[in-house]
Chains A and B, each alone.
Chain A
Amino acid sequence: MKLNLRVWRQQTPDAPGAMVTYEVDGVSRDMSFLEMLDTLNEDLIVRGEEPVAFDHDCREGICGACSLVINGEAHGPERTTACQLHMRSFRDGDTIDVEPWRAAAFPVVKDLVVDRSAFDRIIQAGGYITAPTGSAPEAHATAVPKPDADRAFEHAECIGCGACVAACPNGSAMLFTSAKVNHLGALPQGSPERETRVLDMVAAMDDEGFGGCTLTGECATACPKGIPLPSITAMNREWLRALRKGRAARD
């Protein structure tokens, strides 16, 4: 396959960037999108040009490092990560636009690489449980009802890639934050911090400059792990509950 790529190139965080057109030849249908970019970069290196910077790590859809907006869609046309997207989703001669995540809270570092440490700070604000470490506890010591375990697992699937923020017209991190709030809130191990967690994580999310939710649903459509939109509703419910309980505790 031969493709026309239009790729966002930006030298430094403050430099102006632009879409630059490249031709990539010899692309196989079985390549992943990232392997296709590797092919382009090998070409660029041979030609003495600077290769395109992009984030990646596991290349098996579990780390959340890869972060490309492909033809205007976070992670491209399939419900998966960019590293698990294969070139058979495109056709010979296609023009493909590749851009970084766009959000005020995710500044561009270089080319297609953005700084997602805002997510780390949201997690630091409450995405943990307090448990003694050391020896592993007896697996049956704390019984977890099956529906709760399923609910926790559904939300634990979030890999923190940031596609939700990239897809949302408001650059909102509500889906990401709700995934962690619902994951830990569903489990008995997470219940001691149930109220502080949601209040602190939402406050951290606001501090980072993410937008709010207007129920457009673009986040859930883009999520490679299928975190559903009603997770945000559940977080709203948790937040309002925590606020009420907080007041009761103060009075």
Chain B
Amino acid sequence: MALATRTDRRPSTTRTLWDSTVGKKAVMAVSGLIMLGYLVVHMMGNLKIFFGAQEFNAYGHWLRHIGEPFLHSHWALWAVRVVLLAAVAAHAVSAYQLSRRDIKARPVAYAHKRRRAGYATRTMRWGGVILGLFIVWHILDLTTLTVNERAWAGHPYENVLATFSTWYGNTLYITAMAALGLHIRHGFRSAAHTLGAGSARRDRTLKALANALALLLFAGFVSVPVGVMTGVVK
């Protein structure tokens, strides 16, 4: 038995990773952490809006010219976009496949109902879908300017102001950021365990860190619409 398995031909590392529930979860964790890292940077960049139109628009302009003259304009920006797109795709596909598998593994529910800790998992699934839809709207609003009321290319400050001067802009954005906070709260700790970095002793630190990250991102992102609504940013 032991000898037979040891001389077996094993499928490639990538195949093993993608075909296994443990491996696919690791893909989800890594892609989630990549997006998380991006969001921390993105949130910090957004805060520059509190320093006026000139500084914010100059920052937006600079994003298109990172790495020049070594890189051509927009190259660095596109590199980031490609990585993020790959991360979103990998994350969503693995989330979908794993969730389907989980639901299939428990086809018959118990007759005796009680409140279950599945709460976090359900919030992750719904929250993930909300985030996915938000990402689409967000790009149409502030990147392609398709649905933006102002749609002034090269003037992100004015466009952001236009978004947060509408009731739906504020509602969509703040709801999505609440979903993001909850997603990170469970997701960050999950990712640590998925990647084998958690332990009984470290779990409390991980939970605290997850809460801090979730709160930081929520507060940082939401400060922008709140700033516009209260007239601090105008």
Please state if B114 and A236 are interface contacts (CB–CB under 8 Å). no
> CA A171 – CA B100 in complex, angstroms?
12
Which of A45-53, A84-92, A135-143, A195-203 participates in binding chain B? Answer: A195-203
What is the distance, in angstroms, from B18's C-beta to the closest C-beta of chain A? 11
- Residues of chain B with a CB closer than 8 A to A232's CB: 193
Given contacts A71-B112, A97-B112, contact A236 B26 (CB under 8 A): yes
Given contacts A71-B112, A124-B1, A243-B17, contact A215 B196 (CB under 8 A): no
- Chain B binding surface, main DSSP class: helix
What 0/1 readout, one digit per residue, does chain B (176-206) give for beta carbons within 8 Å of chain A?
0000000000100110011111111001000
Q: Is A170 on the interface with B (CB-CB < 8 A)?
A: yes
- Residues of chain A with a CB closer than 8 A to B70's CB: none
Determine the residue in chain B with the shortest Cβ distance to A249: B10
5 A-B contact pairs sorted by A residue (CB < 8 Å): A72-B112, A214-B102, A237-B196, A239-B196, A247-B13
Which of B31-39, B56-64, B115-123, B139-147 participates in binding chain A? Answer: B115-123
- Residues of chain B with a CB closer than 8 A to A133's CB: none
Q: Is A109 on the interface with B (CB-CB < 8 A)?
A: no
> CA A105 – CA B26 in complex, angstroms?
23
What 0/1 readout, one digit per residue, does chain B (97-118) give for beta carbons within 8 Å of chain A?
0100111111111111110111
Q: Is A155 on the interface with B (CB-CB < 8 A)?
A: no
> CA A234 – CA B20 in complex, angstroms?
16
- Residues of chain B with a CB closer than 8 A to A124's CB: 1
Please state if A72 and B196 are interface contacts (CB–CB under 8 Å). no
What is the distance, in angstroms, from A64's C-beta to the closest C-beta of chain B? 20
Given contacts A99-B111, A206-B21, A240-B26, contact A211 B105 (CB under 8 A): yes
What is the distance, in angstroms, from B191's C-beta to the closest C-beta of chain A? 10
> CA A216 – CA B111 in complex, angstroms?
20
What is the distance, in angstroms, from A130's C-beta to the closest C-beta of chain B? 5
Determine the residue in chain B with the shortest Cβ distance to A215: B190
> CA A172 – CA B101 in complex, angstroms?
10
What is the distance, in angstroms, from A20's C-beta to the closest C-beta of chain B? 11
Given contacts A124-B1, A169-B116, A240-B196, contact A246 B25 (CB under 8 A): no
Residue positions of A touching B, CB distance < 8 A? 6, 8, 19, 69, 71-73, 97, 99, 102-105, 124-126, 128, 130, 168-172, 193, 196, 199-200, 202-203, 205-206, 209-218, 228, 230, 232-241, 243, 246-247, 250
Determine which of A72, A202, A209, A246 lies in contact with B105 in the assembled complex, contact meaning CB atoms within 8 Å. A209
Given contacts A169-B102, A234-B196, A246-B13, contact A200 B5 (CB under 8 A): yes
What is the distance, in angstroms, from B91's C-beta to the closest C-beta of chain A? 15
- Residue of B5, B26, B102 contacting most chain A CB atoms (<10 Å): B102
> CA A69 – CA B103 in complex, angstroms?
19
Please state if B196 and A193 are interface contacts (CB–CB under 8 Å). no
Determine which of B6, B102, B107 lies in contact with A212 in the assembled complex, contact meaning CB atoms within 8 Å. B102
> CA A245 – CA B186 in complex, angstroms?
30
- Residues of chain A with a CB closer than 8 A to B10's CB: 199, 246, 250
- Residues of chain B with a CB closer than 8 A to A172's CB: 102, 105
Q: Is B166 on the interface with A (CB-CB < 8 A)?
A: no
What is the distance, in angstroms, from A113's C-beta to the closest C-beta of chain B? 15
> CA A228 – CA B198 in complex, angstroms?
13
- Residues of chain B with a CB closer than 8 A to A73's CB: 114
What is the distance, in angstroms, from A55's C-beta to the closest C-beta of chain B? 18
Q: Is B161 on the interface with A (CB-CB < 8 A)?
A: no
